[in-house]
Structure 1
């Protein structure tokens, strides 16, 4: 109790200081490094994980470089490229190898340009393959495809050497021949252990697939990050940002076992006449960056919305389902929402920026997760902590960014109504002090 009271007193003091700042504001402080990078990011730029190791893919498996789960790597993929990387996996672990490809911001692309990834055993047998395409927006943007090897499945059993193959997909007539620059890659392998005790091996048969009522209320500003590593935390609520054509922004939402996510994006209206297909794309990725679902909207200048399809609660047995949007919601952790605004808007509706509203709803009762027989790598990838929940409320990412008032609410346990009273009270007190100082300085008649 003494600690909570001390925190609350500290919150009051800081809030009064913030209120006084309304009367006599100080010069704007410098942005922290992470916020400055996001603010200065050029359309199409992508922020790679700090400290990512730079590696080169090879044309064959013989000298392929080793990738360790838990580390993030940078590489590049030439046009028409086919590159190999090597992994060492145990028989018990399920391996996930997401590959994010980043085209140059000025690249000319088609809807079917993209990448294909596959994981293969030492004999060349393919365990799994997936692709990620630019899509209808015809706008260069980061695209992510997930290769995986699932323990217990018929293919690719046993420990040993496996190979990641990354291939560039270039459509005829895309203009790539005129702009043959390589695409940058980010690779972030992870592993999931088996369960300590065997559980259900079939997907849940029923779940509420009804679309929830959209959230209403006042939106709060929250700009996104420029990569998975800098994704900005979000919780349930209505969030506002502004995007220029070509920009991509990343957010992350912590989801406990048993909880469900629903998200939609609204694009504000703009003057102009015409039509742009795939003008705004909203996509969802799971904690290992695997594709879950996406939605895009065509745009005529009138306000328009796009919503993800209803998703099931986060449960381990979802992996036994067939639809990607079900099988990918298989573990707790941070789920990523990614917004991209097509470069093609600029030609018809101007350079913007355009207002975008994200509506995020998280429902369902949090449950205890399954007991694993070992540890995941990275060890926090399938967990949600109190710190994650706090960051989702405040927007703070540990670098000083975020809403300082809401951070005090989260830490001090005080309500938003109390915050408003404190701020208003502090404002009034500061104004009275300023008036008293001015009166005291007047010359006596």
Structure 2
């Protein structure tokens, strides 16, 4: 009995220590809950390098374990895509490729396609990629979406989205049945042969429990607030949508190399507005000056994508080696009814979830000013109190994509969600980080007290001979 008691007490001690070590903010928590940490990996509090942080700079981090599909040259051989699964494919230089969707008659489905040119491709400003979702009669269910390389003439990931949206004014796209995703290159030149890599991300949005308004809000606060001040906190951007680095409201410091694209995600809840600016530092002394007098049109691109990777807004900044700043346009609060607006900026803010900030530095910046990292400061503000969502009648695919989790909703990571001015987190996110640690500490303390209470109760029962 003594040995059994000692074993039991040792087990309780292990559980207690495990609970304490597993608190958010402790190394044990990071080791236990980080998907990228193996038992033999060392613990570090600094962000790990992303796949896009290599010297080549222009690679894209595709979703891990994404199944491969082949785009068919006709609809008869089109492979099926399942909403909630991210796929990897390729896009030929000529012709369209087809993929198949089997949809019900009640859900909206979005498909985002991210095309990635080779890092050494000689691209032109106008060439790019287009996607559309079509019914069985070849009629588009929404206007085809096109993205182009832009003035920077730099190979970079291009993301477009198509949809079968319900309710729809297009009668042939309302019923259950087979639909097709059509992807193609546009305005390709003879200097850019060869396939581009492709990532496909279909998402299902269920219908609402109760129908609401079918018109966009007529008025919203379009005043642009001042960006958060304070000392910027260091972090490392991700290499793709699936590996985007989570941000909260505040100021953030990173480095971006010529030709590199960095991805960040910001939780934005129903009723909240998001604002972002990007400040690029001056080039390091000793730059080559290069051909063209040290000026790169469209040298920096800042874009915001919604949770289904639909472009909401972007801005292009020319770079001449001196510090530059760019900001996204003022955007409305996240609301379901925004989808009925004729404005793409308003229509894109149609659901809560992770919004993606994407920054690209043109490869030509390296030719003009030397292939060195350039300092990047992102200032992110999330304004307004979170409100209740519209009330979906089913589950999204992937699950939870239109929700903001604990980090964004409960710990202040998405700014001061309980205030109307959104002034929280101006210290670069440090306060919100401390809130997360505090929440974790309270949770771990509760576990310890519960375990110790059980220990005492069992001990008293044993002493009483029960």
Scaled by the length of structure 2, the TM-score of the pair is 0.77
SS state at 2:231 partner: coil
- 1:337 is aligned to 2:350: no
- C-alpha deviation, 1:267, in angstroms: 0.8
SS state at 2:80 partner: coil
SS state at 1:302 partner: coil
Looking at structure 1, the residues matched to 407 and 230 of structure 2 have their Cα atoms a distance apart, in angstroms, of: 26
Q: Partner residue of 2:249?
A: 236
Looking at structure 1, the residues matched to 183 and 49 of structure 2 have their Cα atoms a distance apart, in angstroms, of: 32
Match of 1:381 among 401, 409, 424: 401
Looking at structure 1, the residues matched to 400 and 253 of structure 2 have their Cα atoms a distance apart, in angstroms, of: 29
- C-alpha deviation, 1:228, in angstroms: 0.3
SS state at 1:122 partner: coil
SS state at 2:83 partner: coil
- C-alpha deviation, 1:287, in angstroms: 0.2
- 1:268 is aligned to 2:281: yes
Could you tell me whether the CA contact under 8 Å between 1:221 and 1:241 is conserved in 2?
Answer: yes
Output aligned runs, 1:23-422, within 5 Å: 35=49, 37-40=51-54, 42-128=56-142, 129-155=144-170, 156-172=173-189, 177-270=190-283, 271=285, 272=289, 274-388=294-408, 393=413, 409-413=435-439
- C-alpha deviation, 1:371, in angstroms: 0.9
Relative to structure 1, is the Cα distance of residues 91 and 168 closer, same or farther in structure 2, using a 3 angstrom cutoff?
same
CA RMSD, 1 decimal = 2.9
Q: Per-residue displacement from partner, 1:277-297 (whole Å, max 9, x unpaired)? A: 111100000000001000111
SS state at 2:437 partner: helix
The range that moved more, 139-148 or 272-281, is 272-281
Looking at structure 2, the residues matched to 314 and 139 of structure 1 have their Cα atoms a distance apart, in angstroms, of: 32
- Equivalenced residues, count: 387
Relative to structure 1, is the Cα distance of residues 108 and 88 closer, same or farther in structure 2, using a 3 angstrom cutoff?
same
Looking at structure 2, the residues matched to 219 and 192 of structure 1 have their Cα atoms a distance apart, in angstroms, of: 36
Could you tell me whether the CA contact under 8 Å between 2:336 and 2:390 is conserved in 1?
Answer: yes
SS state at 2:262 partner: strand
Q: Per-residue displacement from partner, 1:206-252 (whole Å, max 9, x unpaired)? A: 01111111222111111100000000000111111111100000000
Relative to structure 1, is the Cα distance of residues 381 and 74 closer, same or farther in structure 2, using a 3 angstrom cutoff?
same
- C-alpha deviation, 1:302, in angstroms: 1.5
- C-alpha deviation, 1:348, in angstroms: 1.2
- C-alpha deviation, 1:7, in angstroms: 5.8
Relative to structure 1, is the Cα distance of residues 279 and 405 closer, same or farther in structure 2, using a 3 angstrom cutoff?
same
The range that moved more, 243-252 or 405-414, is 405-414
Could you tell me whether the CA contact under 8 Å between 2:72 and 2:97 is conserved in 1?
Answer: yes
Could you tell me whether the CA contact under 8 Å between 2:411 and 2:432 is conserved in 1?
Answer: no
Q: Per-residue displacement from partner, 1:83-111 (whole Å, max 9, x unpaired)? A: 00000011110110000000001101111
Unaligned runs of 5+ in 2: 1-15, 28-40, 415-428, 442-466
SS state at 1:313 partner: coil
Relative to structure 1, is the Cα distance of residues 238 and 92 closer, same or farther in structure 2, using a 3 angstrom cutoff?
same
Looking at structure 2, the residues matched to 9 and 264 of structure 1 have their Cα atoms a distance apart, in angstroms, of: 36
Relative to structure 1, is the Cα distance of residues 330 and 41 closer, same or farther in structure 2, using a 3 angstrom cutoff?
farther
The range that moved more, 367-376 or 267-276, is 267-276
Relative to structure 1, is the Cα distance of residues 8 and 197 closer, same or farther in structure 2, using a 3 angstrom cutoff?
same
Looking at structure 2, the residues matched to 200 and 136 of structure 1 have their Cα atoms a distance apart, in angstroms, of: 40
- C-alpha deviation, 1:153, in angstroms: 1.1
Looking at structure 2, the residues matched to 333 and 307 of structure 1 have their Cα atoms a distance apart, in angstroms, of: 21
Unaligned runs of 5+ in 1: 15-27, 395-402, 416-445
Looking at structure 2, the residues matched to 232 and 277 of structure 1 have their Cα atoms a distance apart, in angstroms, of: 28
